[in-house]
Structure 1
Amino acid sequence: MTSGANFLQATLSSMLQDPGHPRLTWYGGDFERIELSGAVLGNWVNKTTNLLCEEFDCEPGRTLLVDLPPHWRLLTWSLAVLRAGGRLTLEPTREPDVIITDTPDTFSDARELIVVTLAALARRYPGELPPGAVDAAGAVMTYGDSLGFVPPTDVSQCAVTTTDGHITYAQLPDWVRSATEDTGDRTLLRVASDSVESRVSVLQHAVGVWSHGGSVVLFGPEMTGEIADDSARLQRIIESEKITTVIDIP
């Protein structure tokens, strides 16, 4: 089994063995669909990791809050924090060093704030940013597709803070794989609500699927609600996406 020190690196690198294969397919409301191949997902994570390391000193022991709903951007930002060896929390009540959010008004007094726009093609945040905040839509794209300097991972440090405690980097491989031991090649994560627990579960299941060499289809809560009473549409998606496993996340 891959050790905690290089678990994320090995998982992301494995996606490049078949770089054109879809690894993350997102379904939002109003028929929004976005597909990221292994190469594209890897580029997003590398760019974001470079930003976090160079501009926000992401390193072991430094806490970063990713305050984003169940969404493909939740996964790319969470992966970047973990790839940089930081302490990831999805719980807004914690006191982080850096806040990554799509609702900047909630954290207008934060000293280090990154504002994420969920819209797929956004080139800038559409509203007014708090003083000193970084607009992720433009900032991430200025960084290279190749990973720059990343501090060595300290396996004794916390990787993910959950409502039940924390998972160290040494525990990370077992934590993610325990949720997805029986997943297939193409796994649908159907998310019913936006809660801290659902965000953590999305991350745990998605990384677990990827560590097994699989691919993720993610339904956000809006899509899950839209399709709840439309079994024919759901079946069409399952067939067209070649989904082999369905996991419901409350």
Structure 2
Amino acid sequence: MTLSELVDALSARRGPALTWYGADGGRTELGGPVVARWVAKIANLLGTDLAGDLFDEPAPAPGAPAGPGSPVRVVRVDLGRSWQAVVWTAAAWLSGWEVRGGAPTDSPGGGAIGEDGAAVWVVSHVESASARAAQDGMWVLAHDLSPLALSWAGEPLPEGVLDALSDLAVQPDALVVAPDAVWQGPADGSPQPGGSLRVLVVADDAASTTRFVLAHWAAGHSVVVAGAEPGDDGALDRIATQEHAVRV
């Protein structure tokens, strides 16, 4: 599955593509076209503004593969367990970027920035390490996770730290990049296609959750992700019943 294929499939989908229950019980439902716009905007930002600034090499034009020797692009998605972490991770993977999760831990207090190769760091909280990284020239994007947030609503951002939502807002809703990265899905046990199936999973780290979500989106399924603890069977059963979803 390529980025273009995912965006096209989500754009044509009726009904919810992703329903997210936060650890606090808050519920967010995203229709297919809404998820498609999020993925497209993130991919456009990564493939135009960020790639051009960081690597002097914008992402390939539609139909054109990346050239040989293209630099490895690494983004650190530090958004905890959230649906925003899933869409950032999915868009980055399908744009050919490597994704690291969480904050660097190379040294006390947040880590030595850049030693892991990350050129972009997306954060939900701006702390000393991310502020220092921005001053050192790293792209640091502060993404407000509040429901219905349109821009950063917290304390004023330090110099060099950008408002992720504001930067995404100016990106086109449709894809303007077409990277040739292909997401293969799990080697074994891939979900069987069936557009009427709605599945429920407990949120894990962003990478694991995104792999699950992508696999089921590729099969045409609707996905419910619950932030409840894995052992909280009562809460999970209630969510599964309410959402008419099958626990997996």
TM over 0.5: yes
Q: Is the 8 A contact 1:23 1:215 kept in 2?
A: yes
1:25–1:36 CA contact under 8 A, matched in 2: yes
Q: 2 CA distance for matches of 1:114 and 1:43?
A: 19
Q: Does 1:205 align with 2:199?
A: no
Secondary structure at 2:96's aligned position in 1? coil
Percentage of identical aligned residues: 26
Task: Show structure 2 runs of 5+ residues with no match.
Answer: 52-57, 60-69, 105-115
Whether 1:238 and 2:240 are equivalent positions in the alignment is yes
Q: Give the gaps of 5 or more residues in structure 1.
A: 1-5, 156-168
Question: Aligned equivalents of 1:73 and 1:15: distance in 2?
Answer: 16
Tell me by how many angstroms 1:39 deviates. Answer: 0.6
Alignment of 1:78-227 (within 5 A): 78-90=89-101, 92-93=103-104, 94-105=116-127, 106-110=129-133, 111-125=138-152, 126-150=154-178, 152-153=179-180, 169=182, 172-175=183-186, 178=188, 180-181=190-191, 185-191=197-203, 198-220=205-227, 224-225=228-229
Under a length normalisation based on structure 1, what TM-score does the superposition of the two structures give? 0.74
Give yes or no for contact 1:48–1:80 (8 Å, CA) kept in 2: yes
Q: Which deviations, in whole Å up to 9, do the C-alpha atoms of 1:156-200 show, x marking residues without a partner?
A: xxxxxxxxxxxxx5xx3143x646436972111113x6xxxx322
Aligned length: 212
Q: Taking structure 1 as reference, are residues 104 and 180 closer, same or farther at Cα in structure 2, changes over 3 Å only?
A: farther
**C-alpha RMSD of the superposition:** 2.6
| Conserved 8 A contact 1:124-1:135 | yes
Instruction: Call closer, same or farther: CA 1:219–1:98 in 2, change over 3 Å.
Output: same
Bigger CA radius of gyration: 2
Alpha-carbon distance in structure 2 between the residues aligned to 1:23 and 1:62? 28
In structure 1, distance between residues paired with 2:5 and 2:202? 26
The residue aligned with 2:49 is: 55
Q: CA deviation at 1:24?
A: 0.3
Normalised by the size of structure 2, how large is the TM-score?
0.75
| Matched AA of 1:181 | P
Distance in 1 (alpha carbons) for counterparts of 2:6 and 2:91 = 13
Alpha-carbon distance, 1:29 to partner: 3.6
User: Structure 1 segments of 4 or more deviating over 6 A?
Assistant: none
